[in-house]
Amino acid sequence: MAERDWRAQKRSETRRRITTAAFALFDERGYATVSVGEIAHAAGVSVPTFYAYFRTKEHVVLPEQDLDWIGPHLAGQPAGVPLPEQIRLGVQRMVSGLDEDELGLLLRRWRYVREDHTLQLRGADRENRSARVVVAELGVDPDTPEGAATVVVVAACLRAATAALLRWAAGAGRSSLPQLLDEAFAALRSI
């Protein structure tokens, strides 16, 4: 058991070292100009080691998400809460659970996304994966008219959350992220 803990800790430290090195280079030179080889060198790892931790450079900024929160959150909602409100509450809970360091890291990540088209595409991919999980958790058949409508609502809600994150990054984190999320969902409701 101790051997497994040691290995997990070592993997976590290596992942953190790669991320820290990458972010330092992105801050210094901009995301687009930094290569995977440069990140690996700065982190003191080989390029194959980099790829053992991250599929692409984009995954350093926007890693794979843990989407396990979605099922329990949707199951725990009171009856009658509209789906957009369920999603807004879930995103708000995630944000409120972040400490200051995690919020700072999130802000850096979304600053990079805001400035780079490939990262925006990666963000859209994450939205799509999240939407698929939400739709599956709801037991919705996306090939029916009702299911297709639910897919549109879920996608719009996740896009609203992304818009709030991008707006937060544009303002260098000076605005309240929970407030920006509320404003994005309010805009969605007003349509």
Domain ranges in the chain are: 2-61, 67-189
User: Among residues 18, 20, 23, 25, which one has the least CA distance to residue 47?
Assistant: 18
* For residue 45, pLDDT beyond 80: yes
- The pLDDT value recorded for residue 131 is 93
Mean pLDDT of the chain: 93
Instruction: Classify burial at 169, counting beta carbons within 10 Å of its beta carbon; exposed 0-12, middle 13-18, buried 19 or more.
Output: buried
- Give the CATH H-level superfamily of domain 2-61: Homeodomain-like (1.10.10.60)
**Confidence band for 3, pLDDT divided at 50, 70 and 90:** low
CATH number of 67-189: 1.10.357.10
Query: Over the stretch 66-82, which tens digit does the pLDDT of each residue have?
Result: 888 788 777 777 778 89
The share of the chain scoring above pLDDT 70, in percent, equals 98
What's the pLDDT at 2? 64
C-alpha separations of 183 from 75, 86, 157, 186 in Å: 25, 15, 12, 5
> Average pLDDT in the 127-148 region?
92
Provide mean pLDDT across the span 39-58.
Answer: 98
Helix (H, G, I), strand (E, B) or coil at 88: helix
Mean pLDDT of 119-144: 93
Distance between CA atoms of 149 and 33, rounded to whole angstroms? 41
What contacts 31, CB < 8 A, 6 or more positions away? 61, 112, 115, 116, 119
pLDDT in tens, 88-120: 988 898 898 899 999 999 999 999 999 999 999
Please state, as a whole number, how many other Cβ atoms lie within 10 Å of the Cβ of residue 120: 16
Nearest to 22 by CA among 95, 115, 105: 105
pTM of the model: 0.88
User: What pLDDT was estimated at residue 1?
Assistant: 52
